[in-house]
Amino acid sequence: MKAETERRSLRQQLTEIYELLFQRYGPQHWWPADSPFEVVVGAILTQSAAWTNVERAIKNLSEANALSPVRLRQVPQDELAQLVYPSGYYNAKASKLKAFARYLRDNCRDSLDELFSRDVPTLRRELLSIHGVGEETADSIILYAARKPVFVIDAYTRRVVTRLGLEPSAARYADFQRLFMENLPPDEQMFNEYHALIVQHGKEVCRRAPRCSACCLRERCLFPAS
């Protein structure tokens, strides 16, 4: 009974935070890409990189007609590295893109639809087996490319949750993810928007105004006046 009360409270708090962020920033229209495959490429390239740099890399790939698994395999690795150069870690990321393209050929007949037809636990396990795809990248692909309801945990999310005093006792990726997924309905559209809003909030508030007195989270302000 007590656990049920706490669970309902968490749901209320998480819902309130979502509503405050949505009121402040509005719909974010994520993921900014023209196709599911471009989402996958962007998810890998955005690892520890600013999105503006990722956009340059994707533009290079597009102009080289390299935004397909077949072309990613055809383009020599050093050339691929030059194309993704603006996103940083260019050698590592070229290797990761090739690994994903090989996996798709060897296991899914180069079809993302076939890959995404797996149930979520299987899909996640397969994605995690690919070199360069960790938990956040896998979940980003599942949510924003396969459009299935998993909650993406990134550095911004950890920061927001922790500063609001909601951090789980254990602080692993799965623990943060459970906080959202066990306390919110499995709504793909909401998970999409929620994560995008947290990132937007992180960019606008946490970075530019780390002591913002007018934080949209109000009494839940991430940086309450001291």
Using the rule CB under 7 A, is 29 a contact of DNA?
no
Span 152-191, contacts to DNA by CB under 7 A:
154-156, 172
CB of 76 to DNA, least distance (A): 16
Q: Which of 13, 15, 53, 68 binds DNA (CB under 7 A)?
A: 53
End-to-end distance of the chain based on CA atoms, in angstroms?
A: 36
Using the rule CB under 7 A, is 133 a contact of DNA?
yes
Q: Which of 103, 104, 137, 150 binds DNA (CB under 7 A)?
A: 137
Question: DSSP string of the chain?
Answer: -HHHHHHHHHHHHHHHHHHHHHHHH-----S--SSHHHHHHHHHHTTTS-HHHHHHHHHHHHHTT--SHHHHHHS-HHHHHHHTGGGS-HHHHHHHHHHHHHHHHHHHTT-HHHHHTS-HHHHHHHHHTSTT--HHHHHHIIIIIS--------HHHHHHHHHTT---SS-SHHHHHHHHHTTS---HHHHHHHHHHHHHHIIIIIIT-TT-TT-TTGGG-SS---
Pick 61 or 133: Cβ nearer DNA: 133
Stretch that binds DNA, among 8-16, 110-118, 176-184, 196-204 (CB under 7 A): 196-204
- How many residues bind DNA (CB under 7 A)? The answer is 42
CB of 95 to DNA, least distance (A): 8
Q: Which residue in 11, 97, 4 sits closest to 54, CA to CA?
A: 97
CB of 217 to DNA, least distance (A): 17
CB of 73 to DNA, least distance (A): 18
Question: Contact at 8 Å (CB) between 150 and 142?
Answer: yes
Using the rule CB under 7 A, is 40 a contact of DNA?
no
CB of 41 to DNA, least distance (A): 11
Cα 99 from Cα 131, distance rounded (Å)? 6
CB of 5 to DNA, least distance (A): 29
Using the rule CB under 7 A, is 209 a contact of DNA?
no
Q: Which of 207, 213, 219, 226 binds DNA (CB under 7 A)?
A: 207
> Where do contacts with DNA occur on this chain (CB under 7 A)?
30-32, 42-43, 46-53, 56, 85-86, 88-93, 130-138, 140, 144, 154-156, 172, 199, 202-203, 206-207
